[in-house]
Amino acid sequence: MRIYVADIPVDNVSLNEAVEYVSKSLQGSRPYFAVAINPEKILKAKKDNELEEILKKSDLNFVDGIGVIWGTRIFYKKRFKERVAGIDLFTAILKVASDENYRVYLLGSKEKTIEKARETIKRRYPGIQIVGFHNGYFKDEIKIVNGIRKSNADILFVGLGSPKQEKFIARNLSELNVKFAMGIGGSFNVLSGEFKRAPKMIQKLGLEWLYRFVLNPKRLPRVLSLPKFIILLMHYPERTKKEINFFGITVSNRSMKETIHIVEQFIQSEQFHLVVTLNGEMAAKAFKDKEFFDIIKKSDLVIPDGIGIVWGASINGEKIVYRIPGVEFAWELLRVASEKGYRVYLLGAEEYVLKKAVKQIRNHFPSLCIVGFHSGYFDENEERSIIEEIRKNKVQILLVGMGGGKQEKWIWQHKDLNVPLCVGIGGTFDVWSGRLRRAPVFIQKMGIEWLYRIIIQPSRIVRIGNIISFAVKVIAKGRRK
């Protein structure tokens, strides 16, 4: 059974069960991959999409860190059978390899360290076949991969530190020709005699981390990951819903990487799709404007842009983990478009603002294919020209910045243009042009960017009414629940 910890799957297995799983995987027809899970690794995964995807796809995630056991018990009321220390599973698999004649390859640490570790392993397990080893300091990864493949190893142990070792394995697993691979951190250092494990009593008390810190105070940053991990669990659900219901609107709750993957599928479909970047002010407008509300409901993807949507969802019992500001989503979209050669059209803002924005975009993405752009101020004749330009250039991404409501209605009225990806981006062109500045990062993280905007742009004070009406409606619904 798997227990989800901040949306990371962790297998609830004992050491013996983990060894049994590995033994069975060695008889399988595909390569298997095991990862030791501790608080530090989960924290890293929350800042590293690549690592998080690896942890979600690996075959065996065993709980190595006592902090994961404590945190899960306190916040999720779930209990793991026991802590499976990475080095204990490592040495148990070495015994299986020795008994069952499996071939082993060792990768990682300094040359002197891995040589000593290899000698220790051969002394403890006389029958083991170590078919190759290499230190962890290499520049030619392809050469290392080829060497492992040619060795015909069944089992690969990688000690490069996290997340380097997990990324190496995930990147090359299909090419390594091994049956089982596992990252082992500093285990080579322990077997070489460079590091000492804590006495058994301290291990059983779950204080091995403290013992290591006392011996090596440089580990302080790693020790400090524990309180950060506890804070993460306080705010993070056991498992994240991909979508939540917000007043009848289906709002996405996905990472930037997942969201970009979805919209790329929209582009490849060559059929019309509307993406809405929703904030509290837009929601307040939609509550009073049935046409706008219906367009949002019919849209293909609604991204939570504003902190108001996150707050409103929490008041009504839903948890949005991934808030994606529209300006960041649109910028990432341009980066992908630049790499993939997607054709882009920009529509909105005042003419001088848009021209400055286009200049900035081209400076950052010289290869981006911008097939055309036009300000958000146009008459009927100009509109016909805009429509013709979009149709003629077979635009794949249309970014419209006319303000929430107006931009979505314009896109919906012209869905017959069949642009595969249309996104309303509000005042994003003003930010890209430099006319408006985003709030400092710490203000963004506090979720009060809306207040910062009002302070630097007092004319926005008139929008306070929408924010208040939104808050009243959200709270009223929450109380009814």
pLDDT at 256 over 70: yes
Do residue 187 and residue 208 come from a single domain? yes
Q: Sort 79 into a burial class: Cβ within 10 Å, 0-12 / 13-18 / 19+.
A: exposed
Query: Are the beta carbons of 154 and 97 closer than 8 angstroms?
Result: yes
CA distances from 201 to 7, 182, 209, 431 (A): 32, 27, 13, 58
The first and second tokens of residue 358, run together, are 């286009």
**How many domains is the chain built from?**
2
**Please, what is the average pLDDT of the chain?**
90
Q: By C-alpha distance, which of 204, 309, 236 is closest to 7?
A: 236
**Residue 244 pLDDT > 80:** yes
Residue where one domain finishes, among candidates 183, 200, 234? 234
Given 208, 234, 260, the domain boundary residue is: 234
One domain for residues 133 and 156: yes
- 269 and 307 fall within a common domain: yes
Q: Is residue 16 part of a domain?
A: yes
Q: Are residues 109 and 220 located together in one domain of the fold? A: yes
Residue 159 placed within a domain: yes
Examine the domain organization and report whether 363 and 299 are in the same domain. Answer: yes
Same domain, yes or no: 415 and 270:
yes
Q: Tell me, yes or no, whether 475 lies in a domain.
A: no
Torsion of CA 207, 208, 210, 214, to 10 degrees: 140
Domain assignment present for residue 330? The answer is: yes
For residues 163 and 305, state if they share a domain: no
pLDDT band at 253 (very low <50, low <70, confident <90, very high): very high
Q: Evaluate whether residue 456 is within a structural domain.
A: no
Domain containing residue 341: 243-443
Place of tokens 């910028």: 331
Dump pLDDT digits (tens) for 423-457: 999 999 999 999 877 767 777 666 666 666 666 66
Q: Are residues 127 and 260 in the same domain?
A: no
- Reduced to 3 states (helix: H, G, I; strand: E, B; else coil), residue 119 is helix
Residue 383 lies in a domain: yes
Look at residues 200, 234, 268 and tell me which one is the last residue of a structural domain. Answer: 234
Judge if 266 and 289 occupy the same domain: yes
In this structure, the answer to whether residues 203 and 314 fall within a common structural domain is no
Give the predicted TM-score (pTM) of the model: 0.69
pLDDT of the residue at 223: 67
387 inside domain: yes
Q: Domain check: are 278 and 206 in the same one?
A: no
User: Is pLDDT above 70 for 474?
Assistant: no
Band of the pLDDT at 235, cuts 50, 70, 90? confident
218 and 311 belong to one structural domain = no
